Amino acid sequence: MATPHRPGLRVTSGVTIPDTELSWRFSRSSGPGGQGVNTTDSRVELVWDVAASSALAPVQKERVLERLSGRLADGVLTIAASEQRAQLRNREAALTRLATVVAEALRPPAAPRRPTKPSKGAQKRRVVANQKRSQTKQLRKRPTD
């Protein structure tokens, strides 16, 4: 049986941003566009207030705010899309980009790297290769009498 459609932007299996938290702004795109370039508002800005969002748990919100701190202005994330000529396609692109950015920010941190050191055999092979290279270069010198 199909699950009922929940309005909003699905970011991960457990996070869906409600449509009410998303706001749109439209403006004219720059660049070439043919006859309709001066009349259509095809550039799209998608605005989401991360700090005031109810879609995220407190831990998730803290993680997103920390990881996206360089892209946020007062806790608000803005995604702009103007690649396409049609406003609808730019809206879809902005939604997809927002979902990708938030999903990446929500991803748990990678496990810390355990420091390792080369094996004895690898160290020996490196020294032998360096010595062989040194001998090759020594043979290229002019002979001294």
Tens digits of per-residue pLDDT, 60-105? 889 888 998 888 888 888 999 988 888 899 999 999 999 999 999 9
Mean pLDDT of 138-144: 88
Question: Is residue 64, in this structure, part of any structural domain at all?
Answer: yes
Task: State whether the Cα torsion 96-101-102-104 is positive or negative.
Answer: positive
Q: Is residue 132 part of a domain?
A: no
Closest-CA residue to 79 (of 43, 54, 106, 107): 43
Residue 12, pLDDT score:
82
**In this structure, is residue 37 part of a structural domain?**
yes
- Is residue 4 included in any domain, yes or no? no
122-135 pLDDT, tens digit per residue, is: 999 999 999 999 99
**31-51 mean pLDDT:** 74
Q: Which domain holds residue 37?
A: 9-106
| Number of structural domains found in the chain | 1
pLDDT at residue 140 in the model: 93
Domain assignment of residue 87, yes or no: yes
Q: Comparing C-alpha atoms, which of 96, 99, 115 is closest to residue 107?
A: 99
pTM of the entire predicted model: 0.68
The mean pLDDT value of the chain amounts to 85
Provide the pairing of β-strand 76-81 with 72-73: antiparallel
Which residue stretches of 40-81 are H helix?
58-67
Q: Looking at the domain assignment, is residue 142 inside a domain?
A: no
In a domain, 2, yes or no: no
Mean pLDDT of 16-27: 87
Q: What is the mean pLDDT of residues 109-133?
A: 95
Considering only CA atoms, which of 9, 15, 20 is closest in space to residue 60? Answer: 15
Whether 114 is covered by a domain: the verdict is: no
CATH code of 25's domain: 3.30.160.20
Buried/exposed 49-88: b ≥16 CB within 10 Å, e otherwise: ebeebebbeeebbebbbebbeeebeebebebbbbebbebe
Residue 2 confidence (pLDDT) above 70? no
* Cβ 106 vs Cβ 65: under 8 Å: no
pLDDT (0 to 100) of residue 117? 95
